[in-house]
Amino acid sequence: MTHPQPRTIPELFLQAVERHDNPAFMRYKAGGEFASIPAREFRKEVELAAFGLIELGVQHGDRVALLSENRPGWAFADLATLSVGAWSVPIYTSLMPDEIAYILNDCGAVACFVSTAEQLAKLDAIRARCPALKHVITLEPIESSDPSTMTARSLLEQGQAFRSKSPGLVEQRLAAIEPEHTASILYTSGTTGEPKGVMLSHNNFITNVIDGLKSLVILTTDTNLSFLPLSHSFERTAGYYIMMHAGSSIAYAESVDTVVDNMAEVQPTVMTSVPRLYEKLYAGVLQKATEAGGLKKQLVFWARRIGIDYAEKRVAGERIPAHLALQYRIADRLVFSKIRQLVGGRMRFFVSGGAPLAPVIAKFFYAAGIPILEGYGLTATSPVISVNTFGAIRFGTVGKVIENVEVKIEPDPDRPGGEGEILVRGPNVMQGYYNLPEKTAEVLSPDGWFRTGDIGFIDDDGFIAITDRKKDLIKTSGGKFIAPQPLENDLKTSRYVSQAVVVGNRRKYASVLIVPNMDTVVRYCREHDVATDDTGTMLESREVQALFDELLEKINRDAPSYQTLKKFCLVREDFTIAAGELTPTLKVKRRVIEEKYGHLIDTMYEQDVALTE
């Protein structure tokens, strides 16, 4: 039986159930093992929840918030909300109560699904300040004395009773939803100022799913391990709606910290992630080899060199010399096969987005037989704009534009080589910012072109290369522009670096804050007879300072003088979401970092101040 293209997200869901009838539609960890939820069983619960929401008084166009970690319950709440014509408003669980209150009040949410007792406590602390919020539904069986709080199980029971009285109501609601109706408000993570609510329609999501699947080959036999926050459009579209439409299974990781362990248990075939995961996997392989020393270290680093050479030639379409082919087969058998086992043994490919991926990491995983298909998108574009594919891949780029999406570059006279701001137009572009018409007009032109705020260029073959975020560009006091992200990515490929933030706006030159990988630095110090009992003293030691001086020299070797990193300062603690230094999708909040570590940044420029006084 053929099905017409779905017009709305509930239609996409219902068609997926009928077409694929996946017995392992969703998987989650329970009792120490991964359990499966069949598609038809999941559909029944979504329908009952939809009846329950109607009985609670949720109207078409009402906003229903969703404060939960990734789990089947997230999709359950999202689909039930959308099935009654309401708008789902996901909220990151890492947000503090005041931030949650801002979102609930800004969108006027009438109900909120909440996952755990911890998240419910945040909601209880601010509920009196959210007058529109009438109902709270807990996904876990949490007891509450508040009469406006109920469990998801109670909602289902209420929905079942209501369905027996009015059996056609959900079907009527579904029929009333049009593609251009708003489906969701996604609040940006607020790296600058208050978060803005991005309004995305059913059509925005649906077209991005359909067009994205023309570039990415997702199979009914695939299993996706989901761990990026579903509150972000990348995971929501690529790791949830696309997988659902393709008939794949979705398994939910227990947490960010258990991803590698969950890979071994689930044995996924596809995954979406930000570069941070790949950086850690890459650094972990090199670190283990270094710890082993001797022949094993030599073997791994030899395999890396051979693999990168092989990957470059293969992707460029060059002939692979016989000696390189033989070396690669040996490297694959002795090293790369073990890396495939590390990620579960069945991985076909990764998809990377959210931030630039260092080309050396992409080449390494390509050589390991696990291509990382780097793509590009934003919340406001639902999100996919472009992606590398098996048929068209180029390291250091974010691939070619997907079907039905247009991209052009607005030239910047201050930047060479055809670089400029990337503008996008297509059915995936947002409806606008919720209740912010002036802000919408700043980025969305009357003829539909959306200003991404990203700087990049399109090469002769149609591949898009992102050089940096417009707002992140550093302009030195000499008027030169420096893109910080490529420099930071180069630094993070070192096993001695955990995180890096380049600074220097309106200064004479660029410098960098570096969070060392303490495990490898401590190991280095012990090998060089440097005391490690006091972290501060260790990091200030001549040996450690020389280690990072050498790293900067390597980074600076091929860079023009104005782009070189002149100085560095070592920061003891990792930047974290909890400290407000990272967004929920692990992007650095540069303004927060520069304010918090302003005293350290100043020390890197003190000599220049003294010389001018």
Token pair 């420096």 is found at 482
Which pLDDT does position 611 carry in this prediction?
A: 31
Which pLDDT does position 193 carry in this prediction?
A: 62
- The CATH number covering residue 289 comes to 2.30.38.10
Whether 554 contacts 497, CB under 8 Å: no
CA angle 377, 378, 379 (to 5 degrees): 135
Question: Is 480 strand, coil or helix?
Answer: coil
Structure confidence by residue, pLDDT tens digits, 494-532: 989 999 999 988 888 899 999 999 999 999 999 999 999
Q: Is the pLDDT of residue 586 over 90?
A: no
Confidence of residue 612 (pLDDT cuts 50, 70, 90): very low
Q: Is the pLDDT of residue 442 over 80?
A: yes
List, edge to edge, every strand of the sheet that includes 464-469.
406-411, 420-425, 450-458, 464-469
Confidence of residue 609 (pLDDT cuts 50, 70, 90): very low
CA angle 273, 274, 277 (to 5 degrees): 80
Which pLDDT does position 562 carry in this prediction?
A: 81
Which carries the bigger pLDDT value, residue 276 or residue 69?
69
> What do you get for the CA distance between the two ends of the chain, in Å?
80
183 plus 195 within the same structural domain = yes
Residue 261's CB is within 10 A of a number of other CB atoms, namely 12
Question: Is 81 strand, coil or helix?
Answer: helix
Q: Which of 215, 238, 264 is the last residue of a domain?
A: 264
466 plus 479 within the same structural domain = no
- The CATH number covering residue 520 comes to 3.30.300.30
DSSP string across 585-603: T--B-HHHHHHHTHHHHHH
Strands 420-425 and 432-433: unpaired
Q: Is the pLDDT of residue 38 over 50?
A: yes
DSSP string across 244-309: HHHT-EEEE-S-GGGHHHHHHHH--SEEEE-HHHHHHHHHHHHHHHHHH-HHHHHHHHHHHHHHHH
Burial class (CB in 10 A: 0-12, 13-18, 19+), 467: buried
Which carries the bigger pLDDT value, residue 505 or residue 221?
221
Task: Give the largest CA-CA distance in the chain.
Answer: 83
Structure confidence by residue, pLDDT tens digits, 186-217: 998 654 567 899 999 999 999 999 999 999 99
Q: Which helix (H) or strand (E) holds 330?
A: helix 322-331
5-14, 133-142, 462-471: segment of lowest average pLDDT: 462-471
Question: Cα dihedral angle (240, 245, 249, 252), rounded to 10 degrees?
Answer: 10
Q: Is the pLDDT of residue 610 over 80?
A: no
72 plus 128 within the same structural domain = yes
Mean pLDDT of 398-416: 90
Token pair 């650094």 is found at 283
12-16, 138-142, 499-503, 608-612: segment of lowest average pLDDT: 608-612
Q: Considering the chain, what is the average pLDDT of its residues?
A: 93
Which pLDDT does position 190 carry in this prediction?
A: 53
Structure confidence by residue, pLDDT tens digits, 298-354: 999 999 999 999 999 999 999 999 999 999 999 999 999 999 999 999 999 999 998
Burial class (CB in 10 A: 0-12, 13-18, 19+), 33: exposed
Whether 239 contacts 227, CB under 8 Å: no
Which pLDDT does position 563 carry in this prediction?
A: 83
Q: How many domains does the chain fold into?
A: 3
Confidence of residue 607 (pLDDT cuts 50, 70, 90): low
Structure confidence by residue, pLDDT tens digits, 116-162: 999 999 999 999 999 999 999 999 999 888 999 999 999 999 999 99
259 plus 286 within the same structural domain = no
Distances (CA, A) of 511 to 129, 446, 580: 44, 41, 22
111-125, 326-340, 363-377, 570-584: segment of lowest average pLDDT: 570-584
Mean pLDDT of 10-35: 96
192 plus 60 within the same structural domain = yes
Which pLDDT does position 550 carry in this prediction?
A: 94
Query: Is 466 among the domain residues?
Result: yes
286 plus 247 within the same structural domain = no
Which pLDDT does position 587 carry in this prediction?
A: 80
The backbone region for 31, taken as left when phi is positive above 0, alpha when psi lies in -120 to 50, beta otherwise, is left
Strands 135-138 and 111-114: parallel
447 plus 590 within the same structural domain = no
- Crossing angle for the helix pair 518-527 and 542-556, to the nearest 10 degrees: 120
40 plus 174 within the same structural domain = yes
Range of the domain at 352: 273-427+442-471
389 plus 244 within the same structural domain = no
295 plus 246 within the same structural domain = no
91-95, 257-261, 299-303, 486-490: segment of lowest average pLDDT: 486-490
Query: Is 436 among the domain residues?
Result: no
Whether 436 contacts 501, CB under 8 Å: no
Query: Is 186 among the domain residues?
Result: yes
Mean pLDDT of 94-104: 94
448 plus 530 within the same structural domain = no
Confidence of residue 591 (pLDDT cuts 50, 70, 90): confident
Distances (CA, A) of 71 to 77, 116, 229, 261, 496: 10, 11, 10, 17, 34
Which pLDDT does position 418 carry in this prediction?
A: 78
Query: Is 210 among the domain residues?
Result: no
DSSP string across 527-583: HTT---SSHHHHHHSHHHHHHHHHHHHHHHTTS-GGGSEEEEEE-SS---TTTTSB-
- The CATH number covering residue 52 comes to 3.40.50.980
458 plus 481 within the same structural domain = no
Query: Is 75 among the domain residues?
Result: yes
* Amino acid (one-letter) located at 99: E
Which pLDDT does position 469 carry in this prediction?
A: 82
Q: Is the pLDDT of residue 613 over 50?
A: no
